[in-house]
Structure 1
């Protein structure tokens, strides 16, 4: 039995590694950023947290930078600090999760920062290490699985690029099985392992495989111009939480394949084909619902944000101020109090809309929105009946808006 510390152990891959290693009889500590922070923990803190473990797995990673938590900080600088801490804490072995295509001169920041970490490991001494370079990792809970499942669940599945971009997906169970073997490995660890499935396939094929797993009917693909995909990816980066970004598109376009024989030799068997691996974990109603809501989540948040921004702009004068004051007067608000309500409410609407648009604490912002809608609805209760019974039902629309906000909060939590 080995004492294993998994950094990034709360993520998709980390959770599967922890389960497999625990099942194999190892003593596993799986921590997230609140347990081990490769950026903010001091060297002494890192050494103390690593001490006593026989092996460390570094599964920490980002697919997009988040302020101070940049890819360079986590992948490159964080790995450098981890290597030093392992040596000081006398941790004998380190398994590092990198990525297929990682290189210091890679096409994307993700590949370059992962490549930098590999270079640092290759130059290090006094530590037995192994770098795993997985291709697209498939399995329930994974980001790639969610994206391609969502594409398959659309009325017309969207074709990413020309549909011929090539990937070589590996199921997370095989990646976890590999780590279990490496933890018990006798002798020096293999240095670099490309972790890939048995055969390359197009992104269209992967989409169809996941559609079949979800028990969805086969449908014709909808081709989307690459220029439009670029726009969507840029919006996703700028407004946060978009379905794709330029990093993921660039890596898909570049291709993601390698020979599977070395991986199979170390694993002790041929890796599973994706359809067979997925068949071991049948899709549920929850999987199908998640796939169908994948794109709805972003559209819902952005549309609610737009509604609040436009409402704020209208209240600031795009809608005639005299009519706004007249409406407030019918609610019993006059003079300075009406001005405060009009412009204070407009400022609040704009602030909440922009915060939601950039993805800042959506659940908390949604809570304030609900409170604001409830407060306005109470104030509006005394308005003439025409505001409630008009065919366009301007005030009754608060009910579906509140419901949409609740749904957004649930999906963003």
Structure 2
């Protein structure tokens, strides 16, 4: 079997591709960054696609020799892209599959997807679902609608694991409806069974775990998985969550808050009857891979990680702005004289170094790759110069040079986070 996975760089797509490659299936991974796909999915053939722009005819050559297509592509939080990525793009793909004679198509949708749904996310998913289902028996098809998917590398998993690792347990209170989480490994098992199911195939399946629960209960399960003891539970007021969502800060977006309030559950019996597979409870599924120290560190780092780059940028902005606008000119010139600079050359050196500091700060705020490393290089130059002309600064009670060690550590942390997400 030759399976083409669209959105193979995403959470579900990566796990499905890895499982199929491990079982010797011929896999073509399609996404917007094929070089990245080749690195993260060894054993799969990587090709470029862009659901937001590709038309049906763009797919014909890519689909040559393909037996099955799984559409795992999706985005959340940017409703401007929903129509292209969730509706128009998949519809063009499905039309191309029918024209190319692809035997089966599996669409990863979302539990709650419906044309009359309250969220734009669910409505956009439903448009593609209905188009695929409307093809009748032209080819085998399955629409899989997962509830919350938990597992290594998922955004939902990262969010709730981060909440689980906080010093206090945050309860979303009345904002919180019930969810029925399923582990990504069990979802992949369902997809593999659908890929191997005999044709004809024409099903809509709600992919849910066996237990409905509040997100507070899910956080408790993840906290136990991390090996953390019980802690104080704090219920967050609805107005606070809503305000943070409107401002675009915090863990829950406005759309996400509405979806949580609506709930996300379905009977599991239909899934079992259609696939012959019963998913594990989340606690059981997590127990397959016990948490380690790295999991706990990652969860605890997540809330502060976005602030590290900003803090480092402020250090560099201050390093450039203070000499220009706060420090007396005579003080600046006196220091520059100690390295043999005076007059116009001193002024030029002052402005050049100050603007370089400000530039490092700006590139950090813009998330330019390598900005933190560039800052380390510049800071090293400054430190060597000051060590040469004023070694006594290492013993200064205010630690003007000793503090560079802390800045170095912060810079390395920012660079490591950049590498991890790159």
TM superposition score normalised by structure 1: 0.86
Q: 3-state SS of the aligned residue for 1:347?
A: helix
Q: 3-state SS of the aligned residue for 2:107?
A: strand
Judge conservation of contact 2:174–2:261 (CA < 8 Å) in 1.
no
Report what 2:384 is aligned to: 378
- Please point out which of 66, 85, 106 is paired with 1:53: 66
Deviations 1:152-194 (A, max 9, x none): 1122233345574321111112211111111122233233221
1:90 matches 2:96: no
Report what 1:75 is aligned to: 86
1:136 matches 2:156: no
* Distance across 2 between alignment mates of 1:412 and 1:221: 33
Deviations 1:351-371 (A, max 9, x none): 43344334x33x422122222
* Distance across 2 between alignment mates of 1:328 and 1:245: 51
Report what 1:200 is aligned to: 212
Report what 1:404 is aligned to: 410
Farther off after superposition, 141-150 or 125-134? 125-134
* Distance across 1 between alignment mates of 2:30 and 2:371: 28
Report what 2:170 is aligned to: 158
* Distance across 1 between alignment mates of 2:345 and 2:126: 60
Q: 3-state SS of the aligned residue for 1:295?
A: coil
Report what 2:17 is aligned to: 18
TM superposition score normalised by structure 2: 0.84
Farther off after superposition, 285-294 or 319-328? 319-328
1:118 matches 2:121: no
Mapping of residues 161-176 of structure 1, within 5 Å: 162=174, 164-176=176-188
Alpha carbons of structure 1 residues 308 and 221: separation in structure 2 relative to 1, 3 Å: farther
Report what 2:8 is aligned to: 9
Mapping of residues 223-302 of structure 1, within 5 Å: 223-230=235-242, 233=245, 244-302=252-310
Alpha carbons of structure 1 residues 86 and 336: separation in structure 2 relative to 1, 3 Å: farther
Farther off after superposition, 23-32 or 202-211? 23-32
* Distance across 2 between alignment mates of 1:44 and 1:280: 44
Deviation at 1:320, TM superposition (A): 4.5
- Please point out which of 361, 364, 376 is paired with 1:353: 361
1:62 matches 2:75: yes
How many residues are matched?
Answer: 404
Farther off after superposition, 43-52 or 256-265? 43-52
1:307 matches 2:323: no
Alpha carbons of structure 1 residues 224 and 311: separation in structure 2 relative to 1, 3 Å: farther
Farther off after superposition, 215-224 or 202-211? 215-224
Q: 3-state SS of the aligned residue for 2:192?
A: helix
* Distance across 1 between alignment mates of 2:326 and 2:109: 52
Judge conservation of contact 2:149–2:182 (CA < 8 Å) in 1.
yes
* Distance across 1 between alignment mates of 2:329 and 2:86: 53
Q: 3-state SS of the aligned residue for 2:201?
A: coil
1:101 matches 2:107: no
Report what 1:216 is aligned to: 228
1:364 matches 2:376: no
Deviation at 1:129, TM superposition (A): 2.4
* Distance across 2 between alignment mates of 1:321 and 1:64: 49
Deviations 1:314-337 (A, max 9, x none): 344255455444443444443333
* Distance across 2 between alignment mates of 1:243 and 1:330: 51
Deviation at 1:401, TM superposition (A): 0.8
Q: 3-state SS of the aligned residue for 2:202?
A: coil
Alpha carbons of structure 1 residues 325 and 142: separation in structure 2 relative to 1, 3 Å: same
Alpha carbons of structure 1 residues 185 and 365: separation in structure 2 relative to 1, 3 Å: same
Alpha carbons of structure 1 residues 163 and 84: separation in structure 2 relative to 1, 3 Å: closer
Deviation at 1:83, TM superposition (A): 1.9
* Distance across 2 between alignment mates of 1:42 and 1:321: 63
Structure 1: segments with no counterpart, 5+ residues: none
Judge conservation of contact 1:4–1:53 (CA < 8 Å) in 2.
yes
Alpha carbons of structure 1 residues 166 and 344: separation in structure 2 relative to 1, 3 Å: farther
Deviation at 1:98, TM superposition (A): 1.4
Q: CA RMSD in A?
A: 2.9
